[in-house]
Structure 1
Amino acid sequence: MVFDLKLQSISELAELQQLAAHADKPVYIANEDDQIRVDARSFLGLFALDYSRPLKVITDSLYVMRMLEIRQRALEDAMARA
């Protein structure tokens, strides 16, 4: 499963890394064209990506996908209220 993601801050990156660390299956983050793919649990590996562009979260973990969907919905609600 693939989830498109745009991170806005280092704290969001840290949250994603923590989510991956607690996942029941591997979680990878890749750039748009999938040339660079890193293990989301590796904090050093995460610095290989360009966060000014959208990324892809790749995992078979239903837990991670659900948490990302909840996060996305909360962001959309916050933007709608602003």
Structure 2
Amino acid sequence: MVFQTKFDSLTGLAELQQLAAQADKPVYIANEDDSIRVDARSFLGMLALDYSKPVRIITDSMYAMRMLEIRQRAQEAQVAAH
């Protein structure tokens, strides 16, 4: 499963790293063309990506996908409230 998102802060990346550590299956983060793909548990590896563009999160973990969907809805609600 692939989830496309955009990160605007290191806090979001740290949250993804924690989520990846808790997930029951591997979680990867990749750039749009998949030329760079790293394990989301590796904070140093995650810094290899360009976050000025959307990235793809790739996993077979239903837990991770559900948590990403919840995170995205919370962000959308926060933007709508402002």
TM range (shorter): over 0.9
User: Match for residue 53 of structure 2?
Assistant: 53
In the TM superposition, 1:2-81 aligns within 5 A as 2-81=2-81
What TM-score results when the alignment is normalised by the length of structure 1?
0.97
1:68 maps to a residue whose letter is: L
2:38 maps to a residue whose letter is: V
**Cα RMSD, aligned residues only:** 0.6
SS in 1 for 2:57: strand
Report the Cα offset of residue 76 of structure 1. Answer: 0.8
Give the gaps of 5 or more residues in structure 1.
Answer: none
2:47 maps to a residue whose letter is: F
What TM-score results when the alignment is normalised by the length of structure 2?
0.97
Structure 1 runs, 4 residues or longer, greater than 4 Å off: none
Give, in whole Å, the separation in 2 of the partners of 1:81 and 1:46.
Answer: 30
Give, in whole Å, the separation in 2 of the partners of 1:78 and 1:45.
Answer: 29
Give, in whole Å, the separation in 2 of the partners of 1:55 and 1:20.
Answer: 15
Q: Report how many aligned residue pairs link the two structures.
A: 82
